[in-house]
Amino acid sequence: MPIPTRAFAHVRLTVTDIERSRAFYEDVFGLPVAFELPPNADAETRQQLSFLYGGVIYQLGDSLLGLRPVGQDEFAENRTGLDHVSFALSSRTELDEAAQSLDERGIEHGGVKDIGAGYILEFRDPDNIALELFSPKS
């Protein structure tokens, strides 16, 4: 019998520089922090939040998006593991506004593309992780 999944609970991305990545994701997406280690955390709190591995977890709708610092390896979607992460938007108008927002931040992107089932906007984070914004056709 198949496991009855209904959605992703969370996705955690490994990054090379947690401060740089936090600045990027917080600036671009403005997600609220769900979990992070307080700077003055006691030993018990550090143990309870050890699942963060020195990173942060953001609230993304009903899901979570985490960042975890690791080695100095650069992302490549042609290796086993991850191709890209796609975030849902509601409309083509929101995609156009997102493209303008990326332009204002100096973040390169591929422009809004019609892929038949909807529209996408592709760009990359500071570790070269492929990110995509998707909206269905109205």
Pairing of strands 85-88, 109-114: unpaired
Per-residue pLDDT tens for 15-72?
A: 999 999 999 999 999 999 999 999 999 999 999 999 999 999 999 999 999 999 997 7
Cα 12 to Cα 32: distance, rounded to the nearest angstrom: 15
Question: What are the distances in angstroms from CA 88 to CA 36, 98, 121?
Answer: 24, 12, 11
Cα 34 to Cα 59: distance, rounded to the nearest angstrom: 5
Where do the domains of the chain lie, and which CATH numbers do they carry? Answer: 1-72 (3.10.180.10), 83-138 (3.10.180.10)
